[in-house]
Structure 1
Amino acid sequence: MSIPLLNYNPASQNQRVAGYEVPNEDTPRIYRLEDCNGSGDLEALIWAAYRQVFSEHAILKNNRQGNLESQLKNRSISVKDFIRGLAKSEAFYKLVVETNSNYRIVELCLKRFLGRAPYNQQETIAWSITTATQGWGGFVDSLIDSTEYQENFGDYMVPYQRRRYKDRPFNLVTPRYADYWR
């Protein structure tokens, strides 16, 4: 029996407040499966998913998941399941999970899958306990099946960084390794 997710109080962060900003070049592009009319649009959606999950701008061919891509192109799986498959892939596990601590994994995954940084240390600890008790797959399922994920991205939208006000996006300021590896 696993331990339930610990309670934590969400802090006030920009992604929790409705915005009034005028769209500009910093506004994230939103990729939805229903907006894909041709193969080029679908390839752009797949590329956006890789970029969001792996946080790499030069996706290596050997990290690509051809089986998942084929299922998504045939509409056999949703974007949500594609993201889940990428997160549970061996490539993601080797590149991200094996090289970081549980706290760092929680920080990276909240940014990449929910589009926001952790609210506070209590949330990081709560999700870290989930990782330790349910394993990597259970943690990924808990994040992707969460109410927050469903309300913000649903089944057919690639996650993106919500309400960015800092200089650069998460994927450019969050290095692959934590400070203790450097």
Structure 2
Amino acid sequence: MTATISSLRCDANQDRSQASDIIRAAYRQVFGNRYLMELDVQPSIEALFINGDLSVQGLVTALAQSDTYRRLYLEANSPYRFVELNFKHLLGRPPRNQAEISEHVRLLADEGFDAEIASYTYSDEYLRNFGVDTVPYARTQTSVVGESTVAYRRNQAMDPGFAGFDADQASVLQVSLASNSNPNAAGTRKVVGGGNRFTVLWTSRVQLGAVRRSAQRSVVSYSSLSRTIQSIQAQGGRILSIANA
């Protein structure tokens, strides 16, 4: 079989010879190229797919709802990072804005892990792009009609490389989404542990007069940037920009 991951598909009542290729591709996509130990794989789910009881869509959903995915990505990360990775693994793109992150964080809190996963794999967007027989893939590795240029930049920032994998770490896109700007992966790596300072401009929910909201300005170190963003959002504030101080 010579198909690439981006074109791997398997129709109902598939040829068994294709099943192992589809399963490998699904594991690679859903688990972010992470190496899995023998106890982490899901033979019962694989058997259901091989026997024709699961479509590719069902296979992807079952892998993402497994105890292994829960342990590696939900329990090991903040809800923000978890949702960020769900977009990448299940819809093949980074989140578009802060509102998408917030919506899924609320869904996770209100309806739980399984509902959060199903909200991607049974969405109109999933079916429109992958149908029921195609393994999801990174759709924003190149420019895509209907997606902004920043989606490509965010995809690059989240990409660990062919030999890399999606590890436990802080959110990659939190600053970019909060400020509605391109991520600067190289610049971010450069300042980690450094003394760089950033100016955060934001509006609070406290109004001055009938319509004008009070503008705020915070100057923080890189190590405090994530906590500052979270604090502003918890207060109902909206971030206007983030720039080097």
Q: TM-score range, shorter-chain basis?
A: 0.7 to 0.9
Question: Contact 2:48/2:54 (CA < 8 Å) preserved in 1?
Answer: yes
Identity of aligned residues (%): 32
- Aligned-residue offset at 1:28: 5.1
Residue 156 of structure 1: aligned partner: 133
Unaligned residue ranges in structure 1 (runs of 5+) = 1-26
Q: Distance in 1 between matches of 2:9 and 2:133?
A: 6
Residue 53 of structure 2: aligned partner: 76
Report the TM-score, using the length of structure 1 for normalisation.
Answer: 0.75
Residue 21 of structure 1: aligned partner: none
Residue 107 of structure 2: aligned partner: 130
In terms of Rg, which structure is larger?
2
Residue 168 of structure 2: aligned partner: 177
Letter of the 1:170 counterpart: D
- Aligned-residue offset at 1:176: 1.6
**Number of residue pairs aligned between Structure 1 and Structure 2:** 154
Question: Contact 1:114/1:159 (CA < 8 Å) preserved in 2?
Answer: yes
Q: Distance in 2 between matches of 1:171 and 1:53?
A: 14
Question: Contact 2:5/2:135 (CA < 8 Å) preserved in 1?
Answer: no
Against the structure 1 CA distance between its residues 73 and 28, is the aligned structure 2 distance closer, same or farther, given a 3 Å change threshold? closer
Report the TM-score, using the length of structure 2 for normalisation.
Answer: 0.57
Q: Distance in 1 between matches of 2:98 and 2:158?
A: 21
- Aligned-residue offset at 1:57: 4.9
Letter of the 2:99 counterpart: Q
Residue 76 of structure 2: aligned partner: 99
Question: Contact 1:51/1:59 (CA < 8 Å) preserved in 2?
Answer: no
Letter of the 1:72 counterpart: F
Against the structure 1 CA distance between its residues 47 and 119, is the aligned structure 2 distance closer, same or farther, given a 3 Å change threshold? same
Instruction: Tell me: higher relative CO, structure 1 or 2? Use CA pairs within 8 A at least 6 residues apart.
Output: 1
Question: Contact 1:52/1:171 (CA < 8 Å) preserved in 2?
Answer: no
Q: Distance in 1 between matches of 2:5 and 2:67?
A: 28
Residue 144 of structure 1: aligned partner: 121
Question: Contact 1:34/1:156 (CA < 8 Å) preserved in 2?
Answer: yes
Question: Deviation digits for residues 16-51 of structure 1, max 9, x if unmatched?
Answer: xxxxxxxxxxx8532101396452x21111000000
Residue 32 of structure 1: aligned partner: 9
Question: Contact 2:31/2:166 (CA < 8 Å) preserved in 1?
Answer: no
- Aligned-residue offset at 1:177: 1.4
* Higher strand residue share: 2
- Aligned-residue offset at 1:112: 0.4
92, 97, 103: which is aligned to 1:120?
97
Letter of the 1:73 counterpart: I
Q: Distance in 2 between matches of 1:92 and 1:47?
A: 15
- Aligned-residue offset at 1:168: 8.3
77, 85, 88: which is aligned to 2:65?
88
- Aligned-residue offset at 1:74: 1.0
Match of 1:29, SS? Answer: helix
Q: Distance in 2 between matches of 1:169 and 1:28?
A: 18
Question: Contact 2:29/2:137 (CA < 8 Å) preserved in 1?
Answer: yes
Q: Between 86-95 and 52-61, report the one with greater CA deviation.
A: 52-61
